[in-house]
Amino acid sequence: MAAELLMTPYAMDRFMGRLIAEGPVMGPRDRRVQPGFVKFEWLSSADELVLEYTTTTIPPKKAFFPPRQPLFEFELSEPPTITAVQEATPFTLVGVHPCDLAGLSMLDDAYAREPAEACWPAARARARVIGVDCLPDEYCFCFAMNTCNSREGADLFLTPIARGYLVEVLTEAGEEMLRLSDVEDAEDEDRSQAQAFRRDKGNRLSASIDASPEEFAEILETQELGELWREIAGRCYSCGSCNTTCPTCFCFDINDEFDLGLTGGQRVRTWDSCQLQEFALVAGGHNFRRIRWQRVRHRWHRKFLYLYRTFGRPYCTGCGRCSRACTADINIVDVSNEVIARARGRV
Amino acid sequence: MPQEAPIPRFGHKPQVAFFDFACCEGCQLSVLQLEEKLLEILGHVDVVTWREAMTETSSEYDIAFCEGSITTEEDIERIRAIRKQAEVLVTLGSCASGGCHNELKNQWSMDEVLGVVYGDDAGGISTIPSRPISAVVDVDYQTFGCPVSLPEFVTVVSCMLTGQHYEPPNQPVCVECKLNDYVCVYEKGEVCLGPVTRCGCNAICTSFGHACQGCRGLMDSANLPAMLKALTREEAHSIMRMVVERHSLTEDEIAAKLRIYNNWPELRMEEAQPDDD
Amino acid sequence: MREADSVDVTEDITRFYQPELARVIAKQRLSEMMVMLRLQRASGEMLEHQPGQFLQISLPGYGEAPISFCSSPTRTESFELCVAAVGNLSEAMHELRPGDFVGIRGPYGKGFPLEDLRGRDVLCIAGGIGLAPLRSLINYVADRRAEFGRMILVYGARKPSERLFKDDLANWDAREDFETLYTVDEADEGWTGRTGVATVPLRDEVEIDPTRTTASVVGPPVMYRYVAAELLAKGMAEDDILFSLERRFKCGMGKCGHCQLNDLYVCQDGPVFRYTQLIGRSEAIEVWAPEDERQ
Could you tell me which residues are beta bridge partners of residue B36? none
Show residues of chain C in contact with B275, CB under 8 Å: none
Arithmetic mean of pLDDT, A216-230:
95
Domain final position from C108, C136, C168: C108
- Structural domain containing residue C225: 114-244
Domain final position from C82, C108, C134: C108
Residue of A nearest to B226 (CA): A235
| C293 close to A (CB below 8 A) | no
Distance of CA C169 to the CA centre of its chain: 16
Show residues of chain B in contact with A37, CB under 8 Å: 183, 187
Angle between the N-to-C axes of helices C166-174 and C131-143, in degrees from 0 to 180, rounded to the nearest 10: 40
Asked whether residue A144 falls in the same domain as residue A288, the answer is no
Average pLDDT over chain A, rounded to an integer: 95
| A112 close to C (CB below 8 A) | no
Asked whether residue A15 falls in the same domain as residue A146, the answer is yes
Distance (Å) of CA B46 to CA B32, C65, C69: 15, 35, 44
Eight-class DSSP state of B67: E
Asked whether residue C223 falls in the same domain as residue C103, the answer is no
Q: What angle do CA B67, B70, B73 make, to 5 degrees?
A: 140
Domain final position from C88, C108, C128: C108
The interface residues of chain C toward chain A in range 85-104, judged by CB-CB distance below 8 A, are: 86-87, 90, 101, 103
**Residue type at C25 in one-letter notation:** I
- Establish how many alpha carbons lie within 13 A of residue C52's alpha carbon, considering only the half-sphere containing its beta carbon: 27
Arithmetic mean of pLDDT, A311-332:
97
| Residue B217 reports pLDDT greater than 80 | yes
pLDDT band at A205 (very low <50, low <70, confident <90, very high): confident
Q: Distance (Å, rounded) from C-alpha B153 to C-alpha C118?
A: 56
| Residue B90 reports pLDDT greater than 90 | yes
Asked whether residue A271 falls in the same domain as residue A157, the answer is no
| B242 close to A (CB below 8 A) | no
Asked whether residue A267 falls in the same domain as residue A158, the answer is no
Say yes or no for a CB contact (<8 Å) between A74 and C15. Answer: no
Asked whether residue A90 falls in the same domain as residue A226, the answer is no
Residue C25 lies in a domain: yes
| Chain A interface test: which of C1, C2, C14 (most A C-beta within 10 Å) | C14
What are the structural domains, with CATH classification, of chain B? Answer: 15-161 (3.40.50.700), 173-271 (no CATH)
The Cα of A71 is separated from the nearest Cα of chain C by a number of Å equal to: 7
CB neighbour burial string for B25-61, b if at least 16 within 10 angstroms, e if fewer: bbbbebbeebeeebebbeebbebbbbeeeeeeeeeeb
Residue C264 lies in a domain: no
Strands A156-161 and A127-132: parallel
pLDDT at B2: 39
Asked whether residue A252 falls in the same domain as residue A177, the answer is no
Cβ-in-10-Å burial (0-12, 13-18, 19+) of A163 comes to middle
pLDDT at B272: 53
SS3 content of chain C, % helix, strand, coil (to 5): 30, 30, 45
Residue of C nearest to B8 (CA): C95
Asked whether residue C67 falls in the same domain as residue C86, the answer is yes
Return the percentage of chain A with pLDDT > 70, whole number.
Answer: 99
Contact of A67 with A270, CB cutoff 8 Å: yes
From the list A218, A205, A206, A207, the residue with the least C-alpha distance to A340 is A218
Asked whether residue A58 falls in the same domain as residue A150, the answer is yes
pLDDT in tens, B132-173: 999 999 999 999 999 999 999 999 999 999 999 999 999 999
pLDDT in tens, A244-285: 999 999 999 999 999 999 999 999 999 999 999 999 999 888
Asked whether residue C120 falls in the same domain as residue C83, the answer is no
Determine the 3-state secondary structure of A94 from DSSP.
strand
Asked whether residue C73 falls in the same domain as residue C162, the answer is no
Domain final position from A177, A204, A231: A204
| B245 close to A (CB below 8 A) | no
Q: What CATH number did the domain enclosing C235 receive?
A: 3.40.50.80
From the list C295, C29, C240, C285, the residue with the least C-alpha distance to C120 is C240
Arithmetic mean of pLDDT, B9-36:
94
ipTM for the assembly? 0.95
Residue of C nearest to A262 (CA): C61
Residue C251 lies in a domain: no
Cβ neighbors of A2 (< 8 A, separation 6 or more) are: A168, A169, A170
Q: What CATH number did the domain enclosing C70 receive?
A: 2.40.30.10
**Residue type at C26 in one-letter notation:** A
| Residue A38 reports pLDDT greater than 90 | yes
Cβ neighbors of B206 (< 8 A, separation 6 or more) are: B173, B177, B182, B183, B184, B185, B192, B194, B212
Residue C286 lies in a domain: no
Distance (Å) of CA C249 to CA B89, C100, C216, C254, C283: 33, 24, 21, 9, 16
Number of domains forming the structure of chain C: 2
Asked whether residue A78 falls in the same domain as residue A149, the answer is yes
Mean pLDDT by 10 residues, chain C (295 residues): 42 74 96 96 92 96 96 93 95 96 95 97 97 98 97 97 96 97 96 95 96 97 94 97 95 95 96 95 83 48
Determine the 3-state secondary structure of C254 from DSSP.
coil
pLDDT in tens, A165-193: 999 999 999 999 999 999 999 999 999 99
Cβ neighbors of B109 (< 8 A, separation 6 or more) are: none
pLDDT at A258: 96
Asked whether residue A45 falls in the same domain as residue A177, the answer is yes
Asked whether residue A23 falls in the same domain as residue A161, the answer is yes
Asked whether residue A330 falls in the same domain as residue A298, the answer is yes
Residue C3 lies in a domain: no
Domain final position from A173, A204, A235: A204
Residue C216 lies in a domain: yes
pLDDT at A34: 84
pLDDT at B1: 39
Residue C259 lies in a domain: no
Cβ-in-10-Å burial (0-12, 13-18, 19+) of A102 comes to buried
pLDDT at C6: 47
Asked whether residue C50 falls in the same domain as residue C124, the answer is no
Subunits in contact with chain C (3 or more CB pairs closer than 8 Å): A, B
Q: Distance (Å, rounded) from C-alpha B230 to C-alpha B194?
A: 13
Determine the 3-state secondary structure of C72 from DSSP.
coil
| Residue B201 reports pLDDT greater than 60 | yes
Number of Cβ within 10 Å of residue B109's Cβ equals 11
pLDDT in tens, B252-265: 999 999 999 999 98
- Structural domain containing residue A131: 3-66+74-204
Q: Distance (Å, rounded) from C-alpha A122 to C-alpha A109?
A: 14
Number of domains forming the structure of chain A: 2
The interface residues of chain A toward chain B in range 257-316, judged by CB-CB distance below 8 A, are: 257-258, 260-263, 270-271, 273, 276-278, 290-293
Domain final position from A204, A233, A265: A204
Asked whether residue C121 falls in the same domain as residue C99, the answer is no
The Cα of A162 is separated from the nearest Cα of chain C by a number of Å equal to: 32
User: Would you call the peptide bond into C271 cis, given omega within 30 degrees of 0 as the criterion?
Assistant: yes
Q: What angle do CA C193, C197, C199 make, to 5 degrees?
A: 110
pLDDT at C292: 54
Distance of CA C211 to the CA centre of its chain: 25
Residue C82 lies in a domain: yes
Name the residue facing A250 among C221, C255, C294 (closest C-beta): C255
Asked whether residue C161 falls in the same domain as residue C103, the answer is no
| Chain B interface test: which of C24, C27, C39, C62 (most B C-beta within 10 Å) | C62
Strands A68-75 and A81-84: antiparallel
Distance of CA A232 to the CA centre of its chain: 24
Q: Distance (Å, rounded) from C-alpha C133 to C-alpha C69?
A: 6
Asked whether residue C170 falls in the same domain as residue C60, the answer is no
The interface residues of chain B toward chain A in range 190-219, judged by CB-CB distance below 8 A, are: 192, 194-196, 207-209
Asked whether residue C27 falls in the same domain as residue C100, the answer is yes
Asked whether residue A270 falls in the same domain as residue A305, the answer is yes
Asked whether residue C56 falls in the same domain as residue C129, the answer is no
Q: Distance (Å, rounded) from C-alpha B73 to C-alpha B67?
A: 17
